[in-house]
Amino acid sequence: PALDVECVDTTGAGDAFNAGFLYAWLMGHDLKKSCYFGNYIASYCIQGYGATNMLPSSEATRVLKK
């Protein structure tokens, strides 16, 4: 399911999802967790303008540990 965030610009959302999904998958997480992480990264991306919003690595680590 989608995360409830305010969408400002969808530029890069698909790329962000793919990157998040592949990162989690290659780190050994299952399909559900990898999809969730891809969604999480994409939702972070759409909250700002352009495709350059960066998720802090500490935040990404926290989400994957859930």
pLDDT confidence bin for 66, thresholds 50/70/90: confident
Give the list of residues 6+ apart from residue 25 with CB closer than 8 angstroms, or none: 31, 34
- Which carries the bigger pLDDT value, residue 24 or residue 66? 24
Please report, for the chain, the start and end positions of each structural domain, with discontinuous segments joined by +.
Answer: 13-65
Q: pLDDT over 70 for what percent of the chain?
A: 91
Judge whether residue 61 has pLDDT over 80.
no
pLDDT, position 44: 86
Specify burial of residue 55 (Cβ count, 10 A radius: 0-12, 13-18, 19+).
middle
The 10s digit of each residue's pLDDT in 9-39 is 999 999 999 999 999 999 999 999 999 999 9
Written as one string, the DSSP assignment of 20-42 is: HHHHHHHTT--HHHHHHHHHHHH
